[in-house]
Amino acid sequence: MTRHERVSADIHMTFDLIRHLIAHPDELEQLPDKAVIRIVSTDRAIEAPAPDDLPTIVFVAERSFRRVKTAA
């Protein structure tokens, strides 16, 4: 995976997480202040814990699909 592909995938996962938290505000409310959020993809290892002993919250990135209307 090239650097560009990895950065693009990270951006996509970040926006997927934002959409998930908007759809599930109860999970957003449970996040502690100043927590470090790690997004773990199934094809990458979990990274080291956050610096300064900040609470670390880990989300597993899973793909979701939605149907796209096509002109048929």
Domain holding 27, by residue range, is 3-61
Whether 61 and 41 have beta carbons less than 8 Å apart is answered as yes
Count CB atoms within 10 A of the CB of residue 56. Answer: 16
Q: Considering the domain boundaries, does residue 31 fall inside one? A: yes
Q: Considering the domain boundaries, does residue 53 fall inside one? A: yes
Q: Considering the domain boundaries, does residue 72 fall inside one? A: no
Is residue 1's pLDDT more than 70? Answer: yes
Whether 36 and 54 have beta carbons less than 8 Å apart is answered as yes
> Which has more pLDDT, 47 or 65?
47
Give the pLDDT score at 3.
87
Q: Considering the domain boundaries, does residue 69 fall inside one? A: no
Q: What is the pLDDT of residues 15-60, one digit of tens each?
A: 888 888 898 888 888 888 888 887 777 666 656 666 677 777 777 7
Report the phi/psi class of residue 61: left, alpha or beta, with left for phi > 0 and alpha for psi in -120 to 50: beta
Query: Which pair of tokens denotes residue 36?
Result: 């470090």
Give the pLDDT score at 72.
45
Give the pLDDT score at 64.
60
